[in-house]
Amino acid sequence: MNKLIAKLYSRVNAAKGQTMTEYVLIIAAIAVAGYVAYEGLEGGINHIITNVTSTLSAS
C-alpha cells in the first residue's frame, strides 16, 4: 500500500496532470480506510445508538 501511495504522490508532483485512474485509486484508498475505521469503531457506535434509543424510548 505504501508503494502505491508513493507512486501516486510522485505522479501528483510531476508536470503531468492527474488522470482519472489516479483519482479513482485515491478515492478507493480513502474508502478502504473509512471502512476499516468503521469496522474498528462499530462496537462503540452500536453502544451509543443503543443508549440514545433507550433514552428516547424512556422519555
The full DSSP string for 1-59 is -HHHHHHHHHHHHSSSPPPHHHHHHHHHHHHHHHHHHHHHHHHHHHHHHHHHHHHHHH-
Q: What burial letters (b/e) apply to 5-24, b meaning 16+ CB within 10 Å?
A: eeebeeeeeeeeeeeeeeee
Residue whose C-alpha cell reads 433514552 in the numeric block: 55
Q: What is the pLDDT of residue 35?
A: 92
Q: What is the pLDDT of residue 4?
A: 74
Q: What is the pLDDT of residue 56?
A: 92
- Residues 4-55 pLDDT 10s: 777 767 766 654 556 778 888 999 999 999 999 988 888 888 889 999 999 9
pTM for the model: 0.47
